[in-house]
Amino acid sequence: MLGVARRRLGSGCVLGQLMQALRPAAAAAARTYSAAAKEMTVREALNSALDEEMSADPSVFLMGEEVGEYQGAYKISKGLLDKYGPDRVLDTPITEAGFTGIGVGAAYQGLRPVVEFMTFNFSMQAIDHIINSAAKSNYMSAGQINVPIVFRGPNGAAAGVGAQHSQCYAAWYAHVPGLKVLTPYSAEDARGLLKAAIRDPDPVVFLENELLYGESFPVSAEVIDSSFCLPIGKAKIEREGKDVTLTAFSKMVGYALQAAEILSKEGISAEVINLRSIRPLDRATINASVRKTNRLVTLEEGFPQHGVGAEICMSVVEDSFEYLDAPVERIAGADVPMPYAANLERMAVPQVEDIVRAAKRACYRAVPMAATA
């Protein structure tokens, strides 16, 4: 595998021709995508980011189950084996502990592995390598060892896959010093954050969502450019508002935007923050928003206890408590293993109507205004 680092490949941009064809367009009103010129799925965004980073840096390689011949369980690595060959797109046996350990060892030697888990639930088999090896080596070596590795794959609930394949690992991995934890929502997020993760000198846990892979989002010419990269640790305000702040990540950002649209029809202006990064967490953006709206609703798919919402709540209590005009509302998954039955599964995962109700409670609008007249 060390031979991979010595190979020199061309640095052509896969999307260069597309850039020539792009024309400026007006920004979408509901979201803050600037000069949106075309649409791209999250799957295409991840694929193009991998392709461009592998083309630009011969030390980058991809490994995991079915990433090569089958082109990825979710087709994220489509076309990469043909372009880069089996030395840089490695099909592994079904042994997460084995290939994750190989990836960490390769990172010790200066390569930049991208380790794909078919689902992050399977990362439990490799969690010792992720936490005790990748996350701690830089500190334990007094900065002498960098571990530039990305662990990526689908995270959280999908549909009908039961308790062992539906967990959200954002809070799990965000608890660990030495890791960076990213949670893309849109195609812009997926493309810009994956590029940043691959270039970063530290281990990055990159939590995607299976149900977002096929969803299309407007992207600008800037996003399409091969030099595009998003900063790690910076949230994005997807929709500005003045009455209540909604924080969310991954698939829940879409739910928050839907809730904000419903609330706007009832006279409540909701500000939606796409966290993008769970560790480091953009506390400054969150607190600035709460100081403006004076209310906060946190949203996540994971279990409520010791969750991301609890950390956000504490951050606001520490830094902006005197600005709060209402108790913080926390929306999370039910505190039970994920049910298999579809009707129970829906009850266990946050829904748009849950967000709307919580925002109304925070704004003291839970009872219709006519009833209080």
Active-site amino acid positions: 96, 165
* Burial state string for 187-200 with b = 16 or more CB within 10 A and e = fewer than 16: bbbbbbbbbbbbbb
Q: Taking each helix axis as running N to C, give the angle between helix 283-293 and helix 308-320, from 0 to 180 degrees, rounded to the nearest 10.
A: 60
Residue 162 is given by DSSP the state -
Closest listed residue to residue 13, CA positions, set 200, 215, 224 = 224
Q: Which residues contact 152 (CB under 8 A, 6 or more apart)?
A: 114, 115, 116, 117, 194, 197, 205, 206, 207, 208
Long-range Cβ pairs for the range 311-317 (8 Å, 24+): 311/171, 311/174, 311/281, 312/247, 312/281, 312/286, 315/281, 315/283, 315/286, 315/287, 316/286, 316/287, 316/290
